[in-house]
Amino acid sequence: MSGSGTAIERRPGIIRLAMRLRRTQIGVGLAGFLVLVALLGPFVAPYGSTEFVEMPNTRNAPGTVFGTDYFGQDVLSRFLFGGRSILLLAASATAIGLVLGASLGLLAAYNRGRLDEWIMRVLDVILSFPQVLLSLLVISMFGPSRVLIALTVGFSTTPRIARVIRGAAVPVVERDFVAAAEAIGEPRRRILFSEVLPNVTSSLLVEANLRLTYSVGLIAALAFLGFTPSPNAANWGLMIQENRNALTVQPWGVLLPTLALALLTIGTGLIGDGLSRVSAGIDRSGDRG
């Protein structure tokens, strides 16, 4: 392979490789569609999200596609309004968890010894709580504001991401090119972010995706249990809880949000699987003997 010429035959990045797999494409399609619905839904909804339309729990109410919900509001409209909050909160929570978790994980992996132990111990305490429980505790005491939900879910995500990143970074830190960078006196921060971090991006992407999927479910579950930023605003998780009792007569109030959540999480799950398949290949081929 010792060719001449300066053409760079660079291997495509992990995202591009993953997009070649059919499952990733399907995942992107599903998740993308639902994200569009969630973000653009409010602009195309036929009625307002709290507008009274017809008799409650009427499946075939005139003027509606899916009928009315427990309060007489249009199911379709509430559905179209109901995804945005969940999505934005899940995305922010994941972002918070990523930034904090990746930094802590990298720090712990690079420093080994004292700092590593302390970071991991503190994170272990947070890890001792199921995420649902921690979020419930905090939110029930301080109120379900947007910021608090994002922060709490983000903080409870942090240790999980930190653990994974640390696990991926430790073998990288032990490789000689990091020692070589130290030997020439590279500043520590540069070593972390420009030597180590680029080599754990595949783990980062896979884990970020996993956490996003879980956060969507968690935030919807919190809404289901009654904890949303605004009690009347439409929210998929809340809708499931609100319309549960009328399932036998008016299934759409539960069916639509359930399907949306299911397809969204399946979509992101497929993307994550595509990413992890491709990253396993990348990591293995990097060490070809």
Partner 1 sequence: MADGLAIRGLRLEVARTGDDIVDEVDLTVAPGEVLGLVGESGSGKTTVGLAVLGHARRGVRIAGGSISIGSTDVLGLGAEERRSIRGRLVSYVPQDPSSSLNPALRIGLQLREVLEAHDFGGSDEARRARVAEMMAEVLLPGDDEFLARYPHQLSGGQQQRVALAMAFACRPSVIVLDEPTTGLDVSTQEHVLATVRSLARAHSVAALYITHDLAVVAARPDRLAVMYAGRVVEQGTMREIFTGAAHPYTRHLVAAAPDIAGGRQIVGLPGRAPQPGARPTGCSFALRCELAEDRCRGAFPEPVAISGSHAARCVRVREVPSSTLAQPARAAARGRGDVVLEVAGLDAGYQGRTVVHGVDLVLRRGECLALVGESGSGKTTVSRSIGGLLREWTGTVTFRGEALGRTSRDRSVAQRLGIQYVFQNPYGSLNPRRTVRDSIARPLQIAGASEDEADASVLDVLSKVALPASYANKFPDQLSGGERQRVAVARALVSKPDVLICDEITSALDVLVQAAIVDLLADLRRDLGLAMLFVTHNLPLVRSIADEVAVMSAGRIVEAGPAMEVIDRPREDYTRRLIAATPSIERALA
Partner 2 sequence: MRRPPVRAAHPRSDSETGMPPILTFILRRLVLGLLTLLAVSILVFVVTQALPSDPAKAILGREATPEALAALRTEFGLDRPLLVQYLSWLGDIVRGDLGTSFSTQLEVADYIAPRVGYSFFLLVVGALASIPISLIIGSYQALKRDGRFDTGASLSTLILAALPEFVVGTILTILFATTVVQWLPAVSYFEEGAPPWSDPLGLVLPVLTLVISITPYVARVMRAAMVEVLESDYVEMARLKGMDERTVLWRHAAPNAVGPTFQVIALNLAFLAGGVIVVERLFNFPGIGSALADAVVGRDLPVVQFLALVIAGVYVLTNLLADVGTVLATPRLRTRLG
Residues that bind partner 2 (CB under 8 A): 23, 124-126, 128-133, 136-138, 140-142, 213-214, 216-218, 220-221, 224-226, 237, 240, 247-248, 251, 254-255, 258, 261-262, 265-266, 268-270, 273, 289
**Should residue 3 be labelled a site residue for partner 1 when binding is judged by CB under 8 A?**
yes
Q: Which is nearer to partner 2, 197 or 255 (CB)?
A: 255
Q: Which is nearer to partner 2, 198 or 231 (CB)?
A: 231
**Should residue 183 be labelled a site residue for partner 1 when binding is judged by CB under 8 A?**
yes
Which of the ranges 22-30, 120-128, 170-178, 244-252 carries the binding residues for partner 1, by CB under 8 A?
170-178
Among 62, 121, 248, 285, binds partner 1 (CB under 8 A): 285
Taking the CA of residue 262 as centre, how many other CA atoms within 13 Å lie in the half-sphere pointing to its CB?
7
Length of the chain: 289
Report the alpha-carbon distance of residue 268 to residue 49 in Å, rounded.
27
b/e burial code for range 56-90 (CB count within 10 A of at least 16 → b): bbbeebeebebbbbbeebbbbbbbbbbbbbbbebb
- From the list partner 2, partner 1, none, which binds 179 (C-beta under 5 to 8 Å, kind-based)? partner 1
Within 190-229, the residues that bind partner 1 by CB under 8 A are 195, 198-199
Q: Can you read off the two tokens belonging to residue 97? A: 């968890």
Q: Which is nearer to partner 2, 127 or 181 (CB)?
A: 127
Alpha helices (runs of H) in the chain, residue ranges in sequence order? 14-19, 22-44, 75-81, 84-111, 113-127, 131-142, 146-173, 176-183, 188-190, 201-224, 236-242, 252-285
DSSP summary character for residue 12: P
Q: What is the maximal distance between C-alpha atoms in the chain?
A: 77
- Residue 113: CB minimum distance to partner 1, A: 9
Among 114, 185, 189, 284, binds partner 1 (CB under 8 A): 185
**Should residue 12 be labelled a site residue for partner 1 when binding is judged by CB under 8 A?**
no
Q: Which is nearer to partner 2, 125 or 184 (CB)?
A: 125
**Should residue 121 be labelled a site residue for partner 1 when binding is judged by CB under 8 A?**
no
Work out whether the CA dihedral 183, 185, 189, 190 comes out positive or negative.
negative
- From the list partner 2, partner 1, none, which binds 11 (C-beta under 5 to 8 Å, kind-based)? partner 1
Report the alpha-carbon distance of residue 152 to residue 158 in Å, rounded.
10
First CA to last CA across the chain, in angstroms? Answer: 14
Phi-psi bin for 7: left (phi > 0), alpha (psi -120 to 50), beta?
A: beta
Among 180, 249, 262, 280, binds partner 1 (CB under 8 A): 180
- Residue 184: CB minimum distance to partner 1, A: 4
Q: Which is nearer to partner 1, 5 or 62 (CB)?
A: 5
- From the list partner 1, partner 2, none, which binds 198 (C-beta under 5 to 8 Å, kind-based)? partner 1
Task: Give residues in contact with partner 1 (CB under 8 A).
Answer: 1-6, 8-11, 175-177, 179-186, 195, 198-199, 285-289
